[in-house]
Amino acid sequence: MFSDQVIIWIKAGDGGNGAVSFRRERFVPKGGPDGGDGGKGGDVFLKADKHINTLVQFYKHPHCKADNGENGSGTKKNGKTGSDLILKVPVGTVVEDLNSHQLLADLSEAGKEIRVARGGSGGKGNYRFRSSSNQAPRFAQKGEVGEEKKLKLILKLIADVGLVGFPNVGKSTLLSRVSAARPKIADYPFTTLEPNLGVVQVDEDHSFVMADIPGLIEGAHHGLGLGTRFLKHIERTKVIVHILDGSLLNPEDLYQNYQIIENELAKYSLELGKKDRIITINKCDLPEIETKVKQINEYFSGKGFLVHFISAIRGDGLKELIYKIHQMIEEFDRKKEEIILEKESDEQIEKPVHYQHLPEFVIRREGDTFIIEGEKIRKLAYQYDLTNRQALEFFQKKIKGLGVEKALRKKGIIDGNKVKIGDKDFYFYS
Single pTM value for the model: 0.71
- pLDDT of 106 reads 87
For the stretch 361-370, pLDDT in tens is 888 888 889 9
- Residue-averaged pLDDT of the chain: 84
Q: Does residue 186 carry a pLDDT above 50?
A: no
- pLDDT of 67 reads 96
Same domain membership, residue 29 and residue 87: yes
Q: Does residue 218 carry a pLDDT above 70?
A: no
Average pLDDT over residues 49-63: 86
Domain with 95 in it: what CATH number? 2.70.210.12
Could you list the residue range(s) of the whole structural domain that residue 104 is in? 5-155
Domain boundary among 345, 376, 398: 345
Domain membership of residue 352 (yes or no) is no
Domain with 304 in it: what CATH number? 3.40.50.300
How many whole angstroms separate alpha carbon 239 and alpha carbon 208?
11
Give the SS3 label for residue 22.
strand
Identify residue 334 by its one-letter amino acid code: R
- pLDDT of 1 reads 44
For the stretch 376-417, pLDDT in tens is 888 888 888 888 889 888 888 888 888 888 888 888 888 888
- pLDDT of 351 reads 63
Q: In whole angstroms, how far apart are CA 50 and each of 92, 96, 107, 197, 421?
A: 9, 20, 11, 13, 46
Domain boundary among 90, 123, 155: 155
The band of 70, judged by pLDDT with boundaries at 50, 70 and 90, is very high
In this structure, the chain runs to a length of: 430
Same domain membership, residue 167 and residue 144: no
**Total domains in the fold of the chain:** 3
Same domain membership, residue 148 and residue 176: no
For the stretch 200-215, pLDDT in tens is 888 888 888 888 877 5
Domain membership of residue 357 (yes or no) is no
Q: Does residue 188 carry a pLDDT above 70?
A: no
Domain membership of residue 351 (yes or no) is no
Same domain membership, residue 215 and residue 135: no
Same domain membership, residue 94 and residue 11: yes
Which residues contact residue 96 at a Cβ distance below 8 angstroms, ignoring those fewer than 6 apart? 102, 103, 104, 151, 152, 153, 154
Same domain membership, residue 276 and residue 221: yes
